[in-house]
Amino acid sequence: MPKIEIARGYISGALGRVAELHGTYYHQHWGFGLFFEARVAVELAEFLKRYDEKRDGFWTVWADGRLEGSITIDGINAATEGAHLRWFIMSDALRGKGAGNELIDTAINFCRSNGYKKIYLWTFKGLDVARHLYEKGGFKLIAEHRGTQWGKEVTEQHFERSWTDLA
């Protein structure tokens, strides 16, 4: 088992590696292409350029010096819409080894300590392992519908965890 560390904040190369992890996984398992990977890269870059350590969270998981996963809390609209959990990904090297649970817990604890009343995320049907982690973390499915926000038609799902759930 490799030595696993979680780092907070941007570290050089993280933007490209997080986009790569998303692009590779979602292409292999879901047939997503350039549209999706480019969207991840552009939106993550925009987030990181306005990243505020007090309001936002960006964590990466490292195993033996290599970035193998990430999770983000975008708190820019936390007061009105809730904190947005984004870019949760784990490489095949660490999938099933507990690092995903640790990232979810880290993000929830950050939101709790910031007093955010709600955390929400968008995902899609079929990502059963991630859904299990979200539900284990107290997230509930709020809505689902067919959509193409990831460049391919899927059943999009909206999950939330409310302030009362954070107590």
Structure tokens at 13: 């190369």
Domain range for 106: 4-118
Q: How far apart are CA 9 and CA 73, in angstroms?
A: 11
Category of 16 on φ-ψ map: left (φ > 0), alpha (ψ -120 to 50) or beta? alpha
Report if pTM > 0.85. yes
Task: Judge whether 100 lies within some domain.
Answer: yes
Beta bridge partners of 81: none
Q: What is the pLDDT along the chain (167 residues), one digit of tens a residue?
A: 678 899 999 999 999 999 999 999 999 999 999 999 999 999 999 999 999 999 999 999 999 899 999 999 999 999 999 999 999 999 988 887 888 899 999 999 999 999 999 999 999 998 988 999 999 999 999 999 998 877 888 899 999 998 665 44
Q: Which residues are CB-contacts of 26 (< 8 A; sequence separation ≥ 6)?
A: 32, 36, 37, 150
Task: Judge whether 133 lies within some domain.
Answer: no
Task: Judge whether 23 lies within some domain.
Answer: yes
Task: Judge whether 76 lies within some domain.
Answer: yes
CATH number at residue 44: 3.40.630.30
Task: Judge whether 39 lies within some domain.
Answer: yes
